[in-house]
Amino acid sequence: MRFDHSSGQYLDREGARIYFETTGESSGRTVVLLHGGLGSLKDFNSFLGFLPPEFRYVGIDFRGHGRSTIGHEPLRYALYQKDVNAVVRHIGAESFSLVGFSDGGIVGYRIAAAPGSRVDALFTLGAQWRLEADDPSREMLGGLTAPMWEEMFPESVAHYREVNPKPDFGKLVGEVVALWTDESPEGYPRESVAQILTPTLIARGDDDPLFSMDEALLLRDRIPGAGFFNIPFAGHDAFEDAPELFAAALSDFLRNPRKRQSEE
């Protein structure tokens, strides 16, 4: 199972074209995968092959990322949320599990916390739920530039320029930095995470500089019955540092979504 950026479809959404792909068992339960900022659905290929084959996996490129166009609206987590919900409706999924990395997990919190949520299991990795004024990651997130990112991830940027219909990496980075530092109600879910009632597993790499252990445990205590998985010897993108360990935990949770027994 792989995402290939060639076999998917587009959904037109309020000035943007949202690209998505499916793999796995077409009649299986739907699992939506949401990538991190400045990434794409292809980032999940490092562990997709280790996941159970009986599910239908749906990868979505956020606006401006991968093969999706950026549109005319400022990027906001609330806008990503609407796009994801539109894709889920389009493919006819009455309920679905959601796997979100970083920005994808932030969007996942928003979707799962919304009234009438159809998320039946939520798994997040390295996904902040708020950005406090004194959070040490604020300076790192707010100070990113396009040349800095391209120096760190040249192959990823080259792929973006190859596949995106209207590539403008400088604009995308500017929009994403504004997204990361957005303090409006359309940004981080903050205390609304307490409204998440679906089984939830929060994961982080032990060396993640963006999502601290303290913040992860505070989040776990705010989501009723949520579990926590700290991945040793791994950083922010732990699914690349420890793909088999990450996939084993995710596979178990997808097959048996549950809450902590002490809080059921």
- In order of 38, 48, 154, the CA distances from 159 in angstroms are 11, 19, 9
Q: State how far Cα 168 lies from the chain centre.
A: 22
pLDDT at 262 (0 to 100): 61
Closest-CA residue to 42 (of 101, 85, 90, 123): 101
Please indicate, yes or no, if residue 94 is contained in any of the structural domains. yes
* DSSP bridge partners of 31: 57, 97
Find out whether 43 and 155 touch, Cβ atoms under 8 Å: no
Count of other CB atoms within 10 angstroms of residue 161: 12
Closest CA to 40 of 23, 56, 60, 58: 60
Q: Does some domain include residue 260?
A: no
- Give the per-residue pLDDT at 139: 83
Give pLDDT, residue 172: 97
pLDDT at 264 (0 to 100)? 45
Distance CA 158, CA 169 (A): 10
- Give the strands of the sheet with 200-205, arranged side by side: 9-13, 16-24, 56-60, 30-34, 96-101, 119-125, 200-205, 227-231
Q: Residue 201 domain-assigned? A: yes
Give the CATH number for residue 163.
3.40.50.1820
The mean pLDDT values, 10 residues at a time, for the chain of 264 residues are 95 95 95 97 95 97 97 96 97 96 98 96 98 85 91 95 96 96 95 97 97 96 97 96 96 96 58
Number of domains in the chain: 1
Measured N-to-C along each axis, helices 77-90 and 103-113 cross at an angle, to the nearest 10 degrees, of 70
In a domain, 46, yes or no: yes
Query: Residue 3: inside a domain, yes or no?
Result: no
Let me know if residue 2 belongs to a domain.
no
CB 253 within 8 A of CB 121: yes
3 state DSSP class of 56: strand
Domain span at residue 167? 9-253
- What is the C-alpha separation between 1 and 20, in angstroms, rounded? 15
Structural domain contains residue 48: yes
In a domain, 144, yes or no: yes
